[in-house]
Amino acid sequence: MEIVLRALRLFLPCLMPSWAFFKEIGPSPRIEYCTESDAPWQPAYVWPQGMGVQRHLQRLFYNADWNAHLFLTSLAERQLIEPDRDVEALIKHVLAQKAGRHVAAFRILLECREGSELRRDITYQSSS
């Protein structure tokens, strides 16, 4: 019964979407992780610099890494709104898959504009 209710809760917004895309451009999460407690923090995603037209066209057909990055971003947003152990575990799992090794901890930074300047603040850190 619980799974039916959960499925319904997840399915109904698909049947009646809000369509409010990009309603606000709020602070944007960035995830960093470390593989050991004293290891340096690494970004979960490193933006490519200067992709060519061919690469852009390829990504139209296959864009798995980028879509995984967007999924992680949505999980981070979810975790910031309402911290949840399962979501934290899922973020670690996705990061571990990406890194190919165990992830000790991750943190979420929020990047936003303040006046004409950009700022980035650590907003959340997972348990180790």
Name the residues that contact another protein, by CB under 8 A. Answer: 3, 6-7, 10-11, 13-15, 17-25, 27-30, 47-51, 56, 59-64, 66-67, 69-71, 73-74, 78, 86-87, 90, 97, 111-113, 118
User: Structure tokens of 91?
Assistant: 């973020």
Q: Which two structure tokens, joined as six digits, stand for 82?
A: 């309402």
- Give whichever of 58 and 127 is closer to another protein, judged by the CB atom: 58
Give the residue with the Cβ less far from another protein, 7 or 122: 7
Q: For residue 118, what is the enclosing H or E element?
A: strand 117-125
Q: Shortest gap between Cβ of 92 and another protein (angstroms)?
A: 15
Q: Tokens at residue 89, please?
A: 């575990």
Please report how close the Cβ of residue 6 comes to another protein at its closest, in angstroms.
7
Sheet holding 105-114, edge to edge: 42-43, 28-34, 105-114, 117-125
